Amino acid sequence: MKITSCVVLASFCFGAGAYAADELIVLKAARMFDGKSNAVVQNGVIVVKDDKIEDAGSNLQIPGGARVIDLGDATLCPGFMDAHTHLTEDFSGNYNEHRLQELDLNVSEHAIRATEFARVTIEAGFTTVRDLGSRFVASHEFVDVALRNSINKRVIVGPRMLVATKGIGATGGHFDPTNGFRDFLFGREPDYTDGIANGPDEIRKAVRFEVKNGADVIKAAVSGGVLSLTDEVDTPQLTPAEMAALVDESHRLRKKVAVHCHGDQVAREAIDAGVDSIEHGSFMKPDTLTMMKKKGIFLTPTLTASEWIMGKIDNYPPALQAKAKAATAARSEMFRNAVKMGVRISFGTDAAVFPHGQNAKEFKLMVDLGMSQVDALKSATANDAELLGIAQKVGTLEKGKLADVIAVLGDPTADITATERVSFVMKEGRIVRQGPSGVEKAEKSASPNVSALAD
């Protein structure tokens, strides 16, 4: 009983972000994947000083006086990244209940729930997320910006966030928050302050408005989507001229552009316009993938989202069921082709469509559709760091990078589902989690001894 209490207390202190200032921490495990190599090395050692990696390699000598944390039969990896989340939202339950809840709940209550979503995401080993859209009907609150800032100020525990604020889309398109509601129920048509813009000039205005309010990245819905009531899933929703304005204005302001896009025709137009990543990409044909590859544009496949929707298809209205079935049927072949053709793939899940914290399930789906284990791991580390424009700071385990380090039990290059069994999380040199997560503790009546996990 006493031991258990100590472990719980220690975990609580770590959770609160005990900092390792002036102390060398050495992380040891049976293996290490550094984010660059094509294999794991044995006897991984990482030396951490303050918020940075001092050294990382196999069988490194342990400096005297260092605090050594032996993580046992585990693999040290760079903190995982998810390039497509919605940490301020949760669409995972019954669609109509969610729709009603969106009208019922105060936006502050949504924000409080989001702090829990942030915590379970980092506890699952995801130390960075790109959060691609946060909107509440008839509200102008920037909950994603508040969440990001509160994490940066260490008011709450969560992953590093790059946020997109509202996202940009056309009237009646996938992002129109009043889609499917009675006309003028909310008293006005949404405008650029809600991310809804029509015509190149308004698109520029919407980009400027979002950057003014804290956007790190610009997201736009250029085609229809699955979970929206009044559009077809693959139809174009922005014109080539609007996309040209979107990309030009965003890049002038040094922001990358991620586009929600299922349809093939509009994907080609978005690629021509020079977007940085295509999200979903369900119906893209091989010729379109060739165009992407030539331009080095990333594909963020979000396989977990469609898998979740198909597994709970009765939760959705009939019109959405038909769209989900069509998109899911097309996306597996599209993804297999993208892997075969060597299109750059960024790891992204669309967390919120399924429960937060289950992000790592994407790895197995990628591997099942033909990606190698190592390439899947690279997609969530080095590739995402490059797409997010933060590769100089994170994404690999090497000297001088920020100490975002996780451990997964077993060897993910032998069994990719090891990524779902995270035993340790460090972000910027601070231990977020050692041993069971809060969710796992709640599931078990007694917390296991941390040292038992390290055996």
Q: Where does this chain bind Zn ion (CB under 5 A)?
A: 350
Q: Is 66 exposed, middle or buried (0-12, 13-18, 19+ CB in 10 A)?
A: middle
Q: State which residue, 275 or 454, has the beta carbon closest to Zn ion.
A: 275
Nearest approach, Cβ of 82 to Zn ion (angstroms)? 11
CB atoms within 10 A of CB 167: 25
Q: State which residue, 102 or 350, has the beta carbon closest to Zn ion.
A: 350
Nearest approach, Cβ of 451 to Zn ion (angstroms)? 40
Nearest approach, Cβ of 132 to Zn ion (angstroms)? 5
Q: State which residue, 167 or 412, has the beta carbon closest to Zn ion.
A: 167
- C-alpha 294/C-alpha 168 separation (Å) is 26
Q: State which residue, 350 or 404, has the beta carbon closest to Zn ion.
A: 350
Q: What is the residue type of 375? A: D
Nearest approach, Cβ of 196 to Zn ion (angstroms)? 17
Q: Each residue of 177-190: b (16+ CB within 10 Å) or e?
A: bbbebeeeebeeeb
Nearest approach, Cβ of 84 to Zn ion (angstroms)? 6
Q: Determine how β-strand 67-70 pairs with β-strand 422-427.
A: unpaired
Nearest approach, Cβ of 260 to Zn ion (angstroms)? 6
CB atoms within 10 A of CB 428: 22
CA–CA distances in Å: residue 297 to residues 273, 277, 338, 346 = 11, 6, 12, 10
Kindly tell me the sign of the dihedral angle through the C-alpha atoms of 278, 275, 203, 215.
positive
In this chain, which residue has its C-beta nearest to Zn ion?
A: 350
Nearest to 326 by CA among 228, 229, 233: 233
DSSP string covering 89-148: ----S-HHHHHHHHHHS-HHHHHHHHHHHHHHHHHTTEEEEEE-----TT----HHHHHH
Number of H helices and E strands in the chain, helices first, is 15, 15
* CA contacts within 13 A on the Cβ side of 115: 14
Structure token pair of residue 30: 């049976």
Nearest approach, Cβ of 91 to Zn ion (angstroms)? 9
Nearest approach, Cβ of 16 to Zn ion (angstroms)? 31
Q: State which residue, 210 or 350, has the beta carbon closest to Zn ion.
A: 350
Q: Residue 261 pairs with which residues in a beta bridge?
A: 280
Q: State which residue, 87 or 450, has the beta carbon closest to Zn ion.
A: 87
Q: Residue 258 pairs with which residues in a beta bridge?
A: 219, 277
- Collapsing DSSP states into helix, strand and coil, what is residue 324? helix
Residues 6+ apart with CB under 8 A from 438: 15, 119, 120, 123
Q: State which residue, 135 or 378, has the beta carbon closest to Zn ion.
A: 135
Category of 142 on φ-ψ map: left (φ > 0), alpha (ψ -120 to 50) or beta: beta
CB atoms within 10 A of CB 354: 23
Q: State which residue, 33 or 80, has the beta carbon closest to Zn ion.
A: 80
Nearest approach, Cβ of 85 to Zn ion (angstroms)? 8
Q: State which residue, 66 or 310, has the beta carbon closest to Zn ion.
A: 310
Q: State which residue, 34 or 350, has the beta carbon closest to Zn ion.
A: 350
Q: State which residue, 90 or 350, has the beta carbon closest to Zn ion.
A: 350
Nearest approach, Cβ of 86 to Zn ion (angstroms)? 6
Nearest approach, Cβ of 408 to Zn ion (angstroms)? 25
